[in-house]
Structure 1
């Protein structure tokens, strides 16, 4: 019986071709495309850099794939699994099937990551690379299952998984100092040290491999316990909206959308915790070294030296803002699609619903921006606050629309991967002034180019000299807004089946209950 469920779960994962494509895309991005840039960044902030970081990228890619995939395997199936248990299947068998499925996903992700590593640099120690990458993936399968058991809302869950992954990767021993006491409790600290053959000398009698195995076993055990408990969670109740005039519809739709967003208290906590921890931790580990940038000031191109913490502090906020905004944009429109389609069938105007959703999305992007800027003010003071804040807000709205566009195109799992990869590649790698003193040809083609140039202009110069990048950023914003509006209108159009069913209900209702 367990084998049958495992086959069904794997078939469900493989049914979406985006999931299979991402098994190639994610390792290619992390291991082949940006491994060199991440190794350079590691050296800048005091890490080992070089081949150690490039090897670790295989584990990071596998962990990212496995963690997100297992989160949706757990969170999105809560009600279905509960009904299966009620129907008579022992909970332990169902949990075993889910975790075996997660192990198979971990193996797939690990195989793809190791192949990408072999293609890029070769594998000097195949045993360490293969086993280490699989332990990375297995730990994050457990993390995805744990988060999926306690955070059913996809915004909360994916933010938590990705937040753990970001802290684990960017403050772990490969990117930072291997002997930093504060990071020894990270999930893959000892796995990383053993995988890249960098002895910690603080592993005690167990050694790095022993602690890595202990982390893996403990994580899987915690996932087993919580995955079993999740079958007893009750499903939430839904509410319906009433049709009315245009002004009343807009007010009602706005109140409903805001009430839905406000009800998710964990989300608002994450909006505070993620930027605060990410920005302050990044500032704490940045060495006080000079870095040279080429900027525009008074219409002239100038090369100036800045302290690295100032440049790093200026660029951390937009990465946190864009990542949160993209995820919120993904789920605000994606999860409301079916309910909004029924509301349109009941008489609400699509434009009214879209305006309400867009207003709430803008408000949430604004909230992420305010928290991030307040945190940034603790560690960095831009030369011109207004320009710097406006650029962050432009990036927030841009990536909120990017996220909204990804949902209907790629679905939940694929959309989450891309909603994270785009800000990371765009703002964290391609637009980074720490890695590129001047914009590259590729950076000019990405949605973060305009906002990033305006942001650096406001952060580090005394005059505004980025009119063209500003226009490019606004053009991206308008184009994305039009595309999202068109896709949303198409997605909320009632299907012919729904229209026929509604007409049949109306025909069969008593004359006194029919609308006049």
Structure 2
């Protein structure tokens, strides 16, 4: 028992002592349960779903999102350490049990945070059912996060896969879409949990019923992830040796090495293609066939245009897909290289050439993401001005990729991923969305997606480009975020450069460089 309790305690300490984890325990429930619940309920009514069910289900969505990412990074980052513990003599079964118990305790913690926010929001009709449903959400996603962490060691791939599963589960699930499309959504992880939690019988639960099938998902998630963990820690394989870095002397070499890293990761390219396909095509499938009214600029004045909602909804999904993927790409390009960049500067590489290579990597990522999304969008959305629509999509990708780089230089992996998802969701999915309101609120103009989104609406729904202000706002964001990236990069690598310049110098001379005053150093 002691051999089991010690790892559990250490795993929990590792999670709790990171203040960012405690921050997101508050941030994510506030975003989903308090801020986004009502707009998503309105969107659900437009898509044929049930508005009241959405407001209750947000607690489960928040707990599942937190649990999946927490367990993914715990599993992925600790994989080598877990193998060493097994090699040192700790039984694999006890280590796996410790990991799974830790996951269940994290599930209880994130569920408590989500439920507290839900109960603060207002009265809940059936508290016991909501509490049980939220816990089942979290446990299922603990299993998903653990399974992805065992299978995918590249953190970009793993993060995108978890976000893809969560987005499909939530945005195309029974709460947001019409119950008439149950044949499409019943295979999703929390389909039956959602219906049971909000007390909407599915009618297709069979002999076990909705609760029974929900428990089957819970048990399968725990058992399946436990088996995967057991296989991982029992397979005494050596970790893959890191490839030797090539001789980097110019920005072109830095850029080439970054592209080589992408080439060695075919799963990333597959995700960049499949995520827009699923996200955009399904949005057309689940949208109720009806007309809607949206507002655009025509000759300098606002006019209302009548649009076919399934096509327009698919078109508005494209910028959300681009922004989310571009933010994650920029985040991990900065985050995965920030320590290595310090060493490269220390070895003598100029910061300007190194940063130019990083910008080149981001540019390639944005182009690939936008190309994949636009190729799918062209199948379902007839944009009126394709050149302008393509330019607006690239502008959106550039803004959010640069924002992701800023997050990657400042934040850790878990917090960075959470923020990288929350910002595009609140900005484009809630605040800027023309499906929820004809004109965005005044504060929307302060968000990064405002300018590019105005360009996309104008070029997608009108025959003449009028929204020059949106284009200028987007370009200002690109310039400002580029300056921010350069400033942060210089600040992070400046210390390393100073250590390189002063290494081996006599102490008086080194102190002179620090203080700028030879008298203070005792020099003659």
TM-score, structure 1 as length reference:
0.94
The offset of 1:496, in angstroms, is 8.8
CA RMSD between the two structures: 1.7
Distance 2:276 2:284 in 1: 12
Distance 1:497 1:223 in 2: 47
Distance 1:201 1:411 in 2: 44
The offset of 1:304, in angstroms, is 2.0
Asked if 1:221 corresponds to 2:238, the answer is no
Q: Which residue of 2 aligns with 1:11?
A: 13
Distance 2:254 2:87 in 1: 36
* Residues 106 and 373 of structure 1, relative CA distance in 2, 3 Å threshold: same
- Kept in 2, the 8 Å contact 1:2–1:97? The answer is yes
Residues 145-294 of structure 1 mapped to structure 2, 5 A cutoff:
145-179=146-180, 180-231=182-233, 232=235, 233-241=237-245, 248-294=249-295
- Kept in 2, the 8 Å contact 1:392–1:451? The answer is yes
- Kept in 2, the 8 Å contact 1:243–1:347? The answer is no
* Residues 299 and 79 of structure 1, relative CA distance in 2, 3 Å threshold: same
The offset of 1:498, in angstroms, is 6.9
- Aligned residue for 1:205, secondary structure, equals coil
The offset of 1:343, in angstroms, is 1.5
- Kept in 1, the 8 Å contact 2:345–2:497? The answer is no
The offset of 1:98, in angstroms, is 1.2
The offset of 1:101, in angstroms, is 1.2
Q: Which residue of 1 aligns with 2:469?
A: 468
Residues 37-436 of structure 1 mapped to structure 2, 5 A cutoff:
37-49=39-51, 51-179=52-180, 180-231=182-233, 232=235, 233-241=237-245, 248-436=249-437
The offset of 1:240, in angstroms, is 4.2
Distance 1:138 1:473 in 2: 41
- Kept in 2, the 8 Å contact 1:279–1:375? The answer is yes
Distance 1:498 1:148 in 2: 37
- In structure 1, the gaps of 5 or more residues are 505-516
Deviation string 1:426-458 (CA, Å, 9 cap, x unpaired) is: 111110000020121121110000000000000
The offset of 1:7, in angstroms, is 1.2
Deviation string 1:89-138 (CA, Å, 9 cap, x unpaired) is: 11111111111111111111111111111111221111111010000000
Distance 1:502 1:225 in 2: 51
TM-score, structure 2 as length reference:
0.93
Distance 1:213 1:255 in 2: 49
The offset of 1:497, in angstroms, is 11
Deviation string 1:125-176 (CA, Å, 9 cap, x unpaired) is: 1111101000000000000000000111111001000100000001111111
- Kept in 2, the 8 Å contact 1:168–1:189? The answer is yes
- Kept in 1, the 8 Å contact 2:345–2:496? The answer is no
The offset of 1:312, in angstroms, is 0.7
- In structure 2, the gaps of 5 or more residues are 506-524
- Kept in 2, the 8 Å contact 1:443–1:449? The answer is yes
- Kept in 2, the 8 Å contact 1:314–1:456? The answer is no
Q: Which residue of 2 aligns with 1:511?
A: none
